Amino acid sequence: MFGAEIAALAAAASWAIGSLLSANPVEKLGSIAFSRLRISIVALMLILYTSMIGTWGSIQWSHMDAIVWSALIGIVLGDTALFITMRRLGPRRTGILFATNAPMATLLSWHIFNEILGWQELLGTLLVILGVMMAILFGKRKDQIHKWESVKGLLWIGIVWGLLAAAGQAVGSLIIKPALLDGADPIAVSAIRVAIAAVSLFVISWLPMQAVKPAGRLDASTIWQTAGSGLISMGLGMTLLLYAFSIGEIGIVASLSATTPAMMLPILWYKTGERPALGAWLGAALVIIGSTLIFIY
């Protein structure tokens, strides 16, 4: 009954885990080099899996334009901007900025698909968004000194990159919605999107610009962390999100999938040994209340 909502929350949990796995490799390799390696690994995994289950036939040629644009905007632009933000602002601040893809997607879906939310769904959606924002804005105490809390460069530049990442995610998801409604398999769609993004990033790497080259040397630990991040975030998380979009309303799915920052709090506490502030936990409670309102609608 709640397949779309459960899939969206599972996607959020996948992104929370994958995001923290990404933090060290992004810092070591640089945003574009990390994204290129990660996407290439995931593309191989998804192509092999889709070939095994034999769902390529669910995709029509008429879907390809949407898939290409969704890949370029949602992954090449969105993911690259996301990891630029993470390298500058750390995973916690990146989380709050990326969470703005929920209201972006909601507003766009109302305009494009005429999706109308009832008062209870709308209240739940607003509480989820408010809770996500609160969980991040009040998620730091003065005595927290972990490197993930530092800001590299100008803050406003990091904010712009974060909002660009959120916009890429929202627009990329909306573009692919009609193909999914036509019956295209979400995993097969993910495989093609990620493969297109991987090829695009390899082309970008040939540009004579230092920013697209690896910032550090690749080692076994970095490869494993990158592979784990890609498998959990993109292989599992994005496939779950596309599945949720294929059977649910974009505004609700986007809001539930934006609970990643709240889910990230206990993981951050475990990883850094620094307990998030009380406001962060209150924000997480709002997320749970909002999700409940959506579920019981």
pLDDT at 113: 65
pLDDT over 70, % of the chain: 88
- Report whether pLDDT(183) > 90: no
Closest by CA position to 77, among listed 144, 13, 164, 4: 164
Dist CA 32 CA 50 (whole Å): 26
Closest by CA position to 191, among listed 230, 157, 150: 230
Please, what sign has the CA dihedral across residues 110, 95, 81, 46?
negative
> How far is the CA of 115 from the CAs of 4, 107, 111, in angstroms?
15, 9, 8
pLDDT range class, residue 144, cuts 50, 70, 90: low
pLDDT at 116: 66
Q: What would the two tokens of residue 67 be?
A: 């898939």
The whole-chain average pLDDT of the chain stands at 81
pLDDT at 89: 81
DSSP state of 183: T
User: Percentage helix, strand, coil, to 5, in the chain?
Assistant: 80, 0, 20
151: left (phi over 0), alpha (psi -120 to 50) or beta: beta
pLDDT at 129: 77
pLDDT at 146: 64
- Which residue range(s) make up the domain with 144? 3-295
Written as one letter, the residue type at 110 is W
Please say whether the beta carbons of 103 and 232 come within 8 A. Answer: no
Please, what sign has the CA dihedral across residues 49, 55, 56, 61?
negative
Q: What would the two tokens of residue 148 be?
A: 């993930």
Q: Which of 171-175, 202-206, 276-280 has the lowest mean pLDDT?
A: 276-280
pLDDT at 141: 67
Q: What angle do CA 163, 165, 166 make, to 5 degrees?
A: 65
Range ranked top by mean pLDDT from 85-99, 180-194, 266-280: 180-194
Rg for the chain, CA atoms, rounded = 18
pLDDT at 237: 85
Q: What total of structural domains would you count in the chain?
A: 1
Please, what sign has the CA dihedral across residues 224, 69, 105, 4?
negative
pLDDT at 257: 78
Give the pLDDT mean for 61-88.
Answer: 89
- Report whether pLDDT(6) > 70: yes
Q: What would the two tokens of residue 134 be?
A: 């609160």
Per-residue pLDDT tens digits for 148-181: 667 787 878 888 898 899 899 888 888 888 888 8
pLDDT at 297: 55
Please say whether the beta carbons of 114 and 95 come within 8 A. Answer: no
- Report whether pLDDT(86) > 70: yes
Closest by CA position to 8, among listed 176, 268, 250: 250
pLDDT at 65: 92
pLDDT at 196: 94
Dist CA 281 CA 215 (whole Å): 36
- Report whether pLDDT(1) > 90: no
Please say whether the beta carbons of 243 and 186 come within 8 A. Answer: yes
